[in-house]
């Protein structure tokens, strides 16, 4: 029971029991939810981190992975994380913004142009800004964000070569005001749908298109229900590893240090995994029948500018936060 666990936690904290080098029953058994299938490097590296945490705490901290929306949709699990019904979750900062508005700032269209810029920003001032906002809520973010990737457009109906081709297209977007605003800006008809329902939404033509990074498109099998892929790279997206604050604070300090060390290391390794996949995912998708095309990114960016997208979000985040974004991006937006 929770009471017994709390009592055990108290004694373990006082006596530092878990650091004694004998295997023993877990003092803490926590759940970690993700929305991606097991094969995604995000889950592979998290599982590796949990194995290392269990070993280094001599079995005192056991974290069980629940991948692939097993515990519910993103909207549901975010709610569970807030109450502590789920102790850990990893979520796109852009979706997290439904609760913590500033968390979507790293996903502003065409702001962070490449991975060098992304990691400098997210391991630097922009990431620190977002984590500080998260820390005001009953949630803690780990220091290193995992990679989802640069997002690209897919459709079942016709290729997207220019912003005009997006006009009126029913595009599934994750549940987040930034995504809706951005795809309205492109002139599309965005529909907010959780990732858990994405495949069936495309299959039943509730939506004709969607946008995701290549590796996510591969592991979720979205390619089975889409035909065309435009390499828009319209935004970068990452997964913040998050803990419920009360569950996190119940852990003894040295146990927290072990958990944070391995979960952060997992992010560094997972970023390298995605980079190493490089062009091979494109080849896999092409072999599965997806037709790729390049687009003029500047045309899409101009469309957002004409729609007042940057002006609107500058106002929503505030001047000070926008300056941090522009500094991270290395350009005025």
Q: Which residues bind ligand X2X (CB under 6 A)?
A: 35, 92, 95, 148, 174, 195, 212, 216, 237
**Which residue is at the shortest CB distance from ligand X2X?**
195
174 vs 266, which CB is nearer to ligand X2X?
174
**Minimum gap (Å) between residue 183 Cβ and ligand X2X:** 13
**Minimum gap (Å) between residue 171 Cβ and ligand X2X:** 11
**Minimum gap (Å) between residue 220 Cβ and ligand X2X:** 7
**Minimum gap (Å) between residue 153 Cβ and ligand X2X:** 12
Instruction: Using the structure block, give the residue that is written with the tokens 């609107």.
Output: 312
Integer Cα distance of 43 and 265 in angstroms: 13
**Minimum gap (Å) between residue 176 Cβ and ligand X2X:** 8
53 vs 105, which CB is nearer to ligand X2X?
105
**Minimum gap (Å) between residue 111 Cβ and ligand X2X:** 17
137 vs 192, which CB is nearer to ligand X2X?
192
235 vs 251, which CB is nearer to ligand X2X?
235
12 vs 171, which CB is nearer to ligand X2X?
171
In 3-state terms, what secondary structure has residue 294? Answer: strand
Which tokens in the block code for residue 207? Answer: 């939506």
What's the distance, CA 322 to chain centroid? 21
DSSP state letters, 61-123: EEEEEE-TTTT--HHHHHHHHHHTSSSEEEEEHHHHTTTSGGGGGGGSTT-S-SHHHHHHHHT
179 vs 228, which CB is nearer to ligand X2X?
179
91 vs 329, which CB is nearer to ligand X2X?
91
Q: Which of 156, 159, 132 is nearest to 143 (CA)?
A: 132
DSSP 8-state code for residue 145: P
35 vs 281, which CB is nearer to ligand X2X?
35
In 3-state terms, what secondary structure has residue 141? Answer: strand
Strand partners, 6: none
Q: How far apart are the first and last CA of the chain?
A: 52
CB count, 10 Å around CB of 176? 21
**Minimum gap (Å) between residue 235 Cβ and ligand X2X:** 10
Half-sphere exposure of 275 (CA within 13 A, CB side): 12
Three-point CA angle 277, 281, 282, nearest 5°: 125
Instruction: Using the structure block, give the residue that is written with the tokens 């106002």.
Output: 315
53 vs 290, which CB is nearer to ligand X2X?
290
Answer yes or no: are the C-beta atoms of 33 and 89 closer than 8 Å: yes
**Minimum gap (Å) between residue 219 Cβ and ligand X2X:** 9
Answer yes or no: are the C-beta atoms of 168 and 188 closer than 8 Å: yes
Integer Cα distance of 62 and 137 in angstroms: 25
Integer Cα distance of 56 and 107 in angstroms: 35
Burial of residue 320 (CB within 10 Å: 0-12, 13-18, 19+) is exposed
**Minimum gap (Å) between residue 16 Cβ and ligand X2X:** 38
């Amino acid at each position: 029971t929770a009471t017994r666990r709390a009592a055990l936690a108290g004694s373990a904290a006082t006596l530092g029991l878990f650091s004694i080098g004998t295997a023993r029953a877990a003092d803490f058994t926590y759940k970690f939810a993700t929305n991606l299938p097991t094969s995604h490097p995000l889950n592979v590296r998290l599982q590796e981190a949990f194995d290392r945490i269990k070993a280094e705490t001599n079995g005192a901290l056991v974290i069980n992975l629940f991948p692939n929306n097993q515990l519910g949709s993103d909207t549901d699990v975010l709610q569970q994380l807030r109450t502590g019904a789920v102790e850990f979750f990893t979520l796109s900062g852009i979706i997290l913004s439904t609760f913590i508005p500033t968390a979507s700032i790293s996903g502003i269209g065409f702001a962070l142009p490449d991975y060098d810029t992304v990691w400098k920003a997210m391991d630097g001032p922009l990431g620190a800004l977002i984590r500080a906002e998260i820390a005001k809520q009953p949630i803690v973010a780990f220091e290193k964000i995992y990679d989802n990737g640069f997002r690209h457009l897919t459709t079942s109906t016709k290729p997207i070569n220019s912003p005009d081709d997006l006009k009126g297209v029913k595009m599934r977007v994750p549940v987040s005001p930034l995504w809706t605003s951005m795809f309205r800006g492109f002139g599309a008809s965005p529909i907010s749908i959780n990732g858990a329902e994405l495949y069936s939404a495309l299959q039943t033509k509730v939506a004709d298109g969607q946008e995701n990074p290549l590796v996510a498109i591969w592991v979720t099998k979205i390619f089975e229900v889409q035909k065309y892929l435009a390499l828009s790279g319209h935004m970068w997206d990452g997964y913040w590893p998050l803990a419920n604050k009360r569950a996190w604070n119940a852990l003894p300090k040295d146990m927290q240090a072990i958990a944070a060390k391995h979960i952060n290391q997992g992010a560094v390794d997972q970023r390298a995994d995605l980079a190493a996949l490089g062009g091979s995912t494109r080849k896999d998708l092409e072999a599965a029948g997806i037709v790729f095309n390049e687009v003029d990114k500047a045309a899409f960016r101009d469309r957002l500018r004409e729609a007042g997208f940057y002006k609107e979000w500058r106002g929503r985040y505030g001047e000070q936060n926008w300056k941090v974004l522009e500094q991270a991006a290395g350009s005025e937006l």
